[in-house]
Amino acid sequence: VFSLREIKTIIDFLREQMLFSDTAEITIEANPDDLTTGYLKGLLDTGVNRLSMGIQSFNDELLKKMNRRHNASQAIKAVEEAEKSGFKNLSIDLIYGLPGLNSKKWKESLLVAYAMPVQHLSAYHLTYHKGTPFYTWLKKGVIHPVSEKESISQFDILIDSSVEAGFEQYEISNFARENCYSRHNTSYWNDVKYLGLGPSAHSYNGRSRRWNIASTTNYINAIEKGLTFSDYEVLTENERFNEYILTRLRTKWGILIEEMEELFGQLKTNYLLEQTKNFAEKNLLNIEKGAIILSRKGMLISDDIMASLVVI
């Protein structure tokens, strides 16, 4: 966990080196068990104005399975303390599609979230990444993935209950109250240039992508010795086209046809429109007001749809 002094040093340095907007979003991610009242108030003094908490669930049994240090009551208290400390932009992360999580328990977790003073919710379906405990348990037969029917049910509950609670779904996995979109994520999806600092950080300037080495020790040593600490790739036009498809189609704004023509020309735009016809006929995509947008049905198989639209 970064100390308040370290966070302030970083933010102050960046303000000295770069032009910051008066309304810049400065987000820090934290686990609920790391957030004391003093730390929360200190964060605001450093310039942080948005807090994102990795809560994952409000079910104690599932939190234990995920090896989380906090329990549900600690998570709720952390959110309440953050609001009392003065945070007006709070986001939480939840996971669904977990073994042992049924639709009833999922709805209960969501209702707890909606009752709290949070402006933003990110909810992701569990994926079994190699090297994680869930992946190991899956391979050993200790756990079994939830059924497709259950996954769809939990996704539907997420969307319907979020809308009822006053949240807007602006990306497949992201929901916001009163237009409190995550600015940094929205920038990624809208092809905005960004700079990443520190180990494993990625940067993008619209034409190329750069990524720093992952090891903190090697990263520091490379900087001290004046050595290269990153690698990069220049994106081809097809790669930029694919990036545009993969990011924009995830959002409520979708792929803007006029913008597509300006960026990639008529040939690629015609290719895309031809590729989308079949999905539109199956009600997986909606083509309206000059935009190509995923339907709710399409969101369930968004990876497959996007894979069919990209240029190989």
The helix or strand, by DSSP H or E, that contains position 133, with its residue range, turns out to be: helix 133-140
Give the model's pLDDT for residue 131. Answer: 87
Q: Does the structure show a pLDDT above 90 at 19?
A: no
Average pLDDT over residues 264-283: 95
Task: Please report the DSSP string for 32-98 in residue order.
Answer: GGG--HHHHHHHHHHT--EEEEEEE-S-HHHHHHTT-S--HHHHHHHHHHHHHHT---EEEEEEES-
Give the model's pLDDT for residue 257. Answer: 96
Q: Does the structure show a pLDDT above 90 at 283?
A: yes
Chain mean position to CA 212: 20
pLDDT band at 172 (very low <50, low <70, confident <90, very high): very high
Q: Does residue 159 come out as left (phi exceeding 0), alpha (psi in the -120 to 50 range) or beta? A: alpha
pLDDT in tens, 85-107: 999 999 999 999 999 999 999 99
Give the model's pLDDT for residue 44. Answer: 96
Give the model's pLDDT for residue 132. Answer: 87
Which residue, chain included where needed, has tokens 């779904």?
169
Average pLDDT over residues 58-80: 94
Give the model's pLDDT for residue 121. Answer: 98
pLDDT in tens, 234-265: 999 999 999 999 999 999 999 999 999 999 99
As a whole number of angstroms, the distance between CA 184 and CA 33 comes to: 25
pLDDT in tens, 124-159: 999 999 988 899 999 999 999 999 999 999 999 999
Give the model's pLDDT for residue 1. Answer: 73
pLDDT in tens, 194-215: 999 899 999 999 899 999 999 9
Give the model's pLDDT for residue 20. Answer: 87
Closest by CA to 170, choosing from 83, 248, 281, 260, is 248
CA angle 119, 121, 123 (to 5 degrees): 175
Contact 233, 209 (CB under 8 A): yes
3-state helix, strand, coil in the chain (%, to 5): 50, 20, 35
Q: Does the structure show a pLDDT above 80 at 312?
A: no
Q: Does the structure show a pLDDT above 90 at 108?
A: yes
Give the model's pLDDT for residue 139. Answer: 94
Q: Tell me which DSSP letter residue 24 carries.
A: -
pLDDT band at 191 (very low <50, low <70, confident <90, very high): confident
Q: What is the mean pLDDT of the chain?
A: 94
- The answer to whether the pTM exceeds 0.85 is yes
Q: What are the chain's domains?
A: 4-180 (3.80.30.20), 190-234 (no CATH), 237-309 (1.10.10.920)
Structure tokens at 280: 């539109």
